[in-house]
Structure 1
Amino acid sequence: MERKIFIKNIALMALLPSTFIAACSSGKKPEAAGEAKEKTQTFTCPMHPQVIKNEMGTCPICGMDLVPFEKNSNDKALKVDEKRQALANITTLAVGDASLSVAKQLNGRLVVNPEQSSYISSRIAGRIEQLYVRETGIKVAKGQPLYKLYSEQLATLQQEYLMALAQEKQFKGDKIEQQIVASARQKLRLYGQSDSQIAQLAKTQKKDPFVLFYAPEGGVVAEVSVTQGQYVTEGSPVIRLEGYGQLWVEADVYPAEAKNVKQGQRVKVVVAGWEDQPQEMSVAFITPVLGAGSQLTQIRGSIPNPGNKWQPGMQANVFLPTGNSSKALSLPVDAVIRDGKGMHVWIKSGKDTFEPRLVKTGQESNNQVEITEGLKNGDRVVVTGAYLLYSEYVLKKGKNPAEGLKMQSN
């Protein structure tokens, strides 16, 4: 009988797990079924996430200290203490219904306004004796000498004027002689002689075949068409000046968008690099034909350029209003993280706790975006520093914050 009981006990012990037997032999209680094993803390490099170790140390690639890595954690919350929030410039905003002004962003550029250009041509045939401006890009002030011209024709006109003055002295009071003097003086004016030069000629009674031409207005030298010593004919181009006090803004528009643009419509212009100085422009012209080799037309207007701080050729964005969306939840564009997993924002759920939340967006302006799903009035959303939270989450947990998230109803 005892032999049968002994054999039965041996069979039962064979069926029990080895852990139970070891626990019994050591006097310890076996683990309860389903009890989670202690998680192993892993560490990774902030610069090289592929480096993962089970103990604290340094990165074998760059030598940086490893940081805790919660790869297997399912906790969506991210804790950032108050000091680190200040260093990362993390700020939040309680969202609420507001009017969202929507505008279409058009690619544009600054170009020279032809109305601000001056074309200087020779008023008389002769030789360029002295060229004072020889390079493009040089700023010229109004009244600055540009070139000196030698002209035999001018000397002949000066002689005619002196003879007319002599005749007038002999026949004082004669209206015909007075008309001849006035006619000779007008010819000299037409050929570039100023009143002071004509008065000096009458005083000295000496011919001067050289005439000095001055800039009619200030500007930047855009083209020099002659060289020193060159002979020119009457009307030959000499110098072209461009004024940058007013610049044209040209923007590309698709035909479907152009039908909503009206002449005189006010639009906002932002020059690249001067985003803090937006300008307002009135649409002055809409090109009636499409550009060669493209399906685009253009709209055009002008903006002031005080101090000539902008140059032609610079990029400018034109924001064309398309309508208003009233009672819409809106956020700054940078508050929404966009990647292959979808769009999400960061919600501040506690003093030092932040959580990702999926959202859907609607209309978008240059700096605001409408939130159609995922948020409700009063939610406190991170508006600056959202990308830093995104990066830290990926670094600490080794996965995208949007993984496993479900859209919440408003």
Structure 2
Amino acid sequence: MKTLITLIATFTLLLSVPVFAEDDGHNHDEAGHTQNGDGGHKEDGQHEEDGDVIKLTPTQIKQAGIESKAVFLRPKLQAIKAPGSVTFNEYKLADVTTLVDGVVHARHVRLGDEVKKGKKLVTITSSTLAQAEAEYLRAEAEHRKSKLDLKRIEGLAKEKIVSQARLQQSTSIHQAAHANLAAARATLASNGLSSGKIDALINLKQYGQLTLYAPSSGTIVSDDFRLGQHIAAGTLLLQVADESTVWVEVKFSQSQMSGIKVGQSAVVTLKNSHARFKGRVINIRHQLDQTTRTVGVRLEVQNYEDGLHPGMFVNAEIEAASGEDALLLPDEAIQRQGSELIVFVEEEPGHFERREVRVGKSVMGLTPVIEGIKEGDPVVVKGAFVLSSELAKSGFEVHNH
């Protein structure tokens, strides 16, 4: 009896053991779908993660704006820092003035407008200009009459109908008329009329109006006038500024100046902002400021997305000298995850491996990497933030268009 009970227990235990199919390396759900390691289905259009590797398609890489670049040893940067202030690039700042007294007749632009070269800005009515235009038209009529008279007298002189003295008199009259016309034309030009406008005076029905045009493309940054206002010749009416570049004025002590030269690279930053603006040294003052005992240095800075405006205070870094060689990466290539600093290396096309790195001090937007990558590694220099974010999430959706 005891033996029978033992056999029954053994048989029951064998029936409770599951039968395994041949292991193909994947799990299968009840519908027969292949599952990934966490039980979810792998769908098209999502990135794959294998430990610290993210795999993306070319479309995903393009959408994320990811760029990789091989890194090589280059001289480590050293920089001199100082605060500075932004001003207009005065080489690209145009004053608009009237060359004749008048009254503001019409305004064609407003403060802050973007204008192209040749755009109408303001129209002025001037009695002085009207008188000058009348003088020109009289001179032009006299010149035309004297020319016809001279041509007629020349014909008569050939036939000896009139004397040479009469011919000489007509010639002198025509020369005087020509000089008067040239003087009248010069007066109009000095009042601001173009050659084409002067030539068109004969067909005008209204005189004494002068329209001022934009001398260059840019932004209207000053327009201190009103309709009906009397304007004296030489009055500043508007300013047009090309703000694609600005100047940054920085002051350095005499001891700092030994490493600064015209042409050296510079970086300008704003307080409480990650924006960086590249520039270069374009001028070093030849006179010391007697009050502060500092030397003025002017930077020309690329004004990306109109982020810098005159009057702003900024921090400037100027490349002063080079130190030992190092693997330098843009600051944006280095991401922080918890207590670790990481970069992404594109081991093969579309395969981005996370690497922990040890770095030195950032200078002018470039950080030296001390440990974690080697020379020649293709490191992600743009879009690393996207990869860092996606590494912490499941799925990288592709938006098909």
TM-score normalised by the chain length of structure 2: 0.54
Deviations 1:343-380 (A, max 9, x none): 9999xxxxxxxxx99x9979967533586xx99x99xx
- For the pair 1:300 / 2:285, whether they are aligned, the reply is no
- For the pair 1:266 / 2:257, whether they are aligned, the reply is no
Using CA pairs under 8 Å that are at least 6 residues apart, name the structure with larger relative contact order, 1 or 2.
Answer: 2
Corresponding residue number in structure 1 for 2:212: 213
- For the pair 1:119 / 2:86, whether they are aligned, the reply is no
With over 3 angstroms needed to count, the CA separation of the structure-2 counterparts of 1:140 and 1:252, relative to structure 1, is: same
In the alignment, residue 261 of structure 1 is paired with which amino acid? Answer: I
- The aligned length equals 276
Cα distance, 1:123 vs. partner?
1.1
Distance in 2 of aligned mates of 1:218 and 1:331: 37
- For the pair 1:132 / 2:93, whether they are aligned, the reply is no
In the alignment, residue 312 of structure 1 is paired with which amino acid? Answer: H
Structure 2: where are the runs of 5+ without partners?
1-48, 55-71, 148-170, 343-355, 389-401
With over 3 angstroms needed to count, the CA separation of the structure-2 counterparts of 1:189 and 1:131, relative to structure 1, is: same
With over 3 angstroms needed to count, the CA separation of the structure-2 counterparts of 1:160 and 1:119, relative to structure 1, is: same
Distance in 2 of aligned mates of 1:165 and 1:141: 34
Distance in 2 of aligned mates of 1:162 and 1:280: 53
Distance in 2 of aligned mates of 1:85 and 1:211: 71
Deviations 1:193-232 (A, max 9, x none): 222322222245x551222222222221111121110111
Distance in 2 of aligned mates of 1:336 and 1:170: 84
With over 3 angstroms needed to count, the CA separation of the structure-2 counterparts of 1:119 and 1:336, relative to structure 1, is: closer
CA contact (8 A) 1:122 1:234 kept: yes
Secondary structure of the corresponding residue to residue 212 of structure 2: strand
Corresponding residue number in structure 1 for 2:166: none
Distance in 1 of aligned mates of 2:201 and 2:363: 71
With over 3 angstroms needed to count, the CA separation of the structure-2 counterparts of 1:285 and 1:210, relative to structure 1, is: same
Deviations 1:20-71 (A, max 9, x none): xxxxxxxxxxxxxxxxxxxxxxxxxxxxxxxxxxxxxxxxxxxxxxxxxxxx
Deviations 1:136-183 (A, max 9, x none): 222122111111111111111112112212222332261111110111
With over 3 angstroms needed to count, the CA separation of the structure-2 counterparts of 1:161 and 1:271, relative to structure 1, is: same
With over 3 angstroms needed to count, the CA separation of the structure-2 counterparts of 1:255 and 1:366, relative to structure 1, is: farther
Secondary structure of the corresponding residue to residue 160 of structure 1: helix
In the alignment, residue 148 of structure 1 is paired with which amino acid? Answer: T
Distance in 2 of aligned mates of 1:361 and 1:142: 48
Corresponding residue number in structure 2 for 1:64: none
Cα distance, 1:329 vs. partner?
9.1
Larger radius of gyration: 1
Distance in 1 of aligned mates of 2:284 and 2:128: 45
CA contact (8 A) 2:282 2:299 kept: yes
- For the pair 1:182 / 2:182, whether they are aligned, the reply is yes
- Decide which of 159, 162, 165 is 2:134's aligned counterpart: 159
Distance in 2 of aligned mates of 1:219 and 1:302: 17
Distance in 2 of aligned mates of 1:117 and 1:330: 37
Corresponding residue number in structure 2 for 1:230: 229
In the alignment, residue 255 of structure 1 is paired with which amino acid? Answer: Q
* Pairing 1:10-409 to 2, within 5 Å after superposition: 85=52, 100-106=75-81, 107-108=83-84, 110-133=86-109, 135-172=110-147, 174-203=174-203, 206=205, 208-262=207-261, 264-269=262-267, 279=278, 281-286=280-285, 288-290=287-289, 297-304=295-302, 309-313=306-310, 315=314, 317-326=316-325, 366-369=365-368
Distance in 2 of aligned mates of 1:360 and 1:275: 21
CA contact (8 A) 2:267 2:364 kept: no
Corresponding residue number in structure 2 for 1:24: none
Deviations 1:277-323 (A, max 9, x none): x745244224743496x6754421324558x6444246464341323
Distance in 1 of aligned mates of 2:140 and 2:297: 58
Deviations 1:246-302 (A, max 9, x none): 32233443432123212x2421435667868x745244224743496x675442132
Cα distance, 1:119 vs. partner?
1.1
In the alignment, residue 220 of structure 1 is paired with which amino acid? Answer: T
Secondary structure of the corresponding residue to residue 259 of structure 2: coil
Secondary structure of the corresponding residue to residue 186 of structure 2: helix
With over 3 angstroms needed to count, the CA separation of the structure-2 counterparts of 1:152 and 1:291, relative to structure 1, is: same
Distance in 2 of aligned mates of 1:287 and 1:364: 28
With over 3 angstroms needed to count, the CA separation of the structure-2 counterparts of 1:148 and 1:85, relative to structure 1, is: same
In the alignment, residue 113 of structure 1 is paired with which amino acid? Answer: N
Secondary structure of the corresponding residue to residue 188 of structure 2: helix
Structure 1: where are the runs of 5+ without partners?
1-81, 88-96, 338-342, 347-355, 389-410
Distance in 1 of aligned mates of 2:290 and 2:360: 34
CA contact (8 A) 1:132 1:145 kept: yes
Distance in 2 of aligned mates of 1:210 and 1:361: 66
CA contact (8 A) 2:360 2:367 kept: no
Distance in 2 of aligned mates of 1:151 and 1:130: 13
